């Protein structure tokens, strides 16, 4: 599906598995840009079954059931349910929209309309709108000042007061999803390492720094967050928070393989 030389074999493999293209993303259908209808967009022919399941086996909605998943009439009669700490936290991590590449152009979609195989772009401050695998990082400029450069005299001739350094890195906070205390930092050298595992980001996590492109691997009930809620392992408790200051290799290997884990139960 892609011959981009900057992608690793594992990344190319997952794009092929999801029947999507790095440069074009999933196609529009009937040219219905911005539509929230699953009959209008989608890779591999979109959702073709009557039970709301896409032909690739994923649920046809990027909506995660809340921890207190009661009928609407109960919530209306008991509005205090919405003030339960887990419900307040759940609402605070909900992504609202996503920047998606469809037929080669970037557009803004409602996050609830994402499909597996969608190519998305993440920015600093974003909530990750679905479980996804990071494919590439965009280079950003960081500014570092020296004593000499920060002096007023250095500004008289219009010279820069800082040294520009170009870096490609993304930092993601997943503490509200899996209890991981330390933010996940991913550098370009790690991402392009042929021997490295895939780097998965989870629905509801927050991008603290950086900009990158990812492919959606799971939505709605198939996400890690939904699986944790079903198993009553969310929100993270103090016992699940990783308190070590240095992440071990075993922890990295376990999380890197999350994209391939069956979360149906």
Domain boundaries, the chain: 9-150+162-260
Q: What per-residue confidence (pLDDT) applies to 77? A: 52
How many Å apart are CA 68 and CA 70, to the nearest integer? Answer: 6
204 touches 177 (CB < 8 A) = yes
How far is it, in rounded angstroms, from Cα 127 to Cα 173?
Answer: 10
Exposed/middle/buried for 231, CB within 10 Å: 0-12, 13-18, 19+?
exposed
Report d(CA 93, CA 128) in Å as an integer: 9
**Using only C-alpha atoms, what is the Rg of the chain?**
21
The encoded tokens of residue 76 equal: 């209306």
Per-residue confidence (pLDDT) for residue 265, from 0 to 100: 55
d(CA 211, CA 146): 26
User: What is the model's pLDDT at position 3?
Assistant: 45
Residues in the chain with pLDDT values less than 50 = 2-4, 30-60, 144-164, 238-261
Cα dist from 66 to 81, 87, 259, whole Å: 11, 7, 22
Structure tokens that stand for 123 in this block: 């920015």
Residue 95, SS3 per DSSP: coil
What is the predicted pLDDT for the residue at 147? Answer: 41
Q: What is the pLDDT of residue 9?
A: 95
207: buried, middle or exposed (CB in 10 Å: 19+, 13-18, 0-12)?
buried
CATH number of 9-150+162-260: 2.70.150.10
């Amino acid at each position: 599906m892609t011959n981009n030389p900057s992608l690793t074999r594992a990344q190319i493999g997952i794009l092929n598995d999801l029947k999507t293209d790095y440069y074009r993303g999933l196609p529009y259908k009937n040219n219905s840009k911005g539509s929230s209808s699953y009959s209008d967009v989608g890779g591999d022919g979109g959702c073709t079954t009557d039970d709301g399941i896409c032909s690739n086996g994923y649920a046809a909605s990027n909506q995660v059931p809340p921890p207190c998943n009661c009928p609407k009439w109960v919530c209306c009669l008991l509005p205090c349910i919405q003030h339960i700490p887990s419900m307040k936290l759940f609402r605070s991590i909900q992504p609202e929209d996503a920047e998606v590449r469809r037929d080669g152009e970037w557009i803004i979609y409602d996050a609830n309309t994402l499909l597996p195989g969608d190519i998305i772009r993440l920015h600093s401050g974003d909530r990750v709108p679905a479980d996804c695998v990071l494919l590439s990082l965009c280079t950003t400029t960081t500014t570092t000042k020296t004593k000499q450069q920060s002096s007023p005299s250095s500004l008289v001739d219009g010279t820069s007061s800082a040294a520009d350094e170009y870096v490609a890195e993304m930092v993601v906070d997943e503490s509200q999803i899996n209890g991981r205390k330390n933010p996940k930092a991913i550098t370009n050298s790690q991402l392009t390492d042929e021997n490295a595992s895939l780097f998965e980001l989870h629905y509801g996590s927050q991008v603290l720094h950086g900009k990158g492109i990812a492919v959606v691997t799971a939505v709605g009930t198939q996400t890690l967050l939904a699986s944790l809620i079903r198993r009553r392992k969310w929100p993270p408790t103090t016992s699940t928070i990783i308190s070590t200051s240095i992440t071990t290799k075993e922890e990295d290997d376990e999380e890197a393989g999350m994209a391939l884990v069956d979360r149906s139960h």
